[in-house]
Structure 1
Amino acid sequence: MAIQARTGGLSPAQAAVLAIGAVTAALLIGRRASPTPEHPRTQRWYRRLDKPDYTPPSLVYPVAWTGIQASLAYGGYRLLCAEGSPERTTALAFWAANQVGIAGWSEVFFGHRSTGWGAVASAALGASAVGYVAAASQADKTAGQLGIPLVAWVSFATLLAEEIWRKND
């Protein structure tokens, strides 16, 4: 009896564990350098930066990122469950790159206190987010739509990071 190669995605349980695990890891890794009460030196540094008037209050960030990552987790779950295809593979590559970018941005901006490279990293994450939406839309329309909050937030965050860089360099 020949073993047939599976062309479909992961089982729903496997996909859920992987998608939720990836976004949770990205959030936890990003939090390691963020300006939270657990990181008072970073919190003081961030508070002292000259920021534009349109900077959201600190409470907005965890709420926004929780919603964004929940959307990305569900989009990733849908893609991981989908039938294998070149479009799915491309979408999952962008999805994974976005998780790395989300985790890494805090380390660049806050951990290294690099406002300039933080703006560059934010722009790169924005490009990756647009790539994800475009690629995911080809594999699973809903997964693509679930990436739009990331595109919107990172577009705003890139403008914010660039202005912080400009004001503090």
Structure 2
Amino acid sequence: MRLISEDSRRIALPVSWKRYAAAAVVVAAAATAGSVAVDADSAWYRSLRKPAWQPPSWAFGVVWTPLYASIAFAAGHALGRTRGREGARLAASFGVNLALNAGWTWLFFRRRSPRAALAGTLILDLSNAELIRRTSRTDPVAARALLPYSAWCVFATALNISLTRRNP
């Protein structure tokens, strides 16, 4: 008699799930790398003059969670539809974009520089446009999934502009 745990057969996940899982791990790593720098309770951050239309601090986590999920979905979906050089370029675009995304919090919170963060978010906005353009060539569904993320980043850029103007 064999115990179930002794069974040497493995259930193989379809390759698509592996792609989505890998994308989720990379996105989660970028989100974690960025969140490590956030300190919304610091005296410096609390002292900043903020616009009345800035969402409360708790809202950022609520918004970013589904946005990161949509990035992971888009990456997993699109990378399954590209091969060769185009696939490598698309993967690189996602990687650069996630690095820029995580980098913003380091510029803003750790460097305590709304100006440097503004430069970072403007570059991120350009990266988002390039990522959506590149993704749409092979996977319009994944490109559309990136639109809320891009829209939120544009909102964050406007917020960053306001913070920079109010806190020279």
TM-score between both structures, scaled by the size of structure 2: 0.85
Counterpart secondary structure, 2:57: coil
Aligned to 1:124: 123
> What is the distance in 1 between the residues matched to 2:136 and 2:107?
30
Aligned to 1:35: 39
Contact 2:135 2:142 in 1 (8 A): yes
Aligned to 1:84: 83
2:16 is aligned with 1:12: yes
Deviations 1:1-47 (A, max 9, x none): xxxxxxxxx922431232011110111111111025xxx5xx32211
Counterpart secondary structure, 1:59: helix
* Stretch of structure 1 that moved more, 90-99 or 156-165: 90-99
> What is the distance in 2 between the residues matched to 1:121 and 1:114?
11
Taking only the aligned residue pairs, the percentage that are identical comes to 30
Deviation at 1:71, TM superposition (A): 0.3
Over aligned residue pairs, what C-alpha RMSD do you find? Answer: 1.7
Question: What letter is aligned with 1:28?
Answer: T
2:160 is aligned with 1:161: yes
Aligned pairs (5 A) from 1:21-100: 21-36=25-40, 40=41, 43-84=42-83, 86-100=85-99
* Stretch of structure 1 that moved more, 87-96 or 27-36: 87-96
Question: What letter is aligned with 2:94?
Answer: W
Deviations 1:71-103 (A, max 9, x none): 000001112222415544433222111111111
Question: What letter is aligned with 1:23?
Answer: V
Deviations 1:84-128 (A, max 9, x none): 155444332221111111111101110110110001101110110
Structure 2 residue ranges without an equivalent (≥5) = 1-13
Contact 2:79 2:90 in 1 (8 A): no
Aligned to 2:10: none
> What is the distance in 1 between the residues matched to 2:47 and 2:82?
50
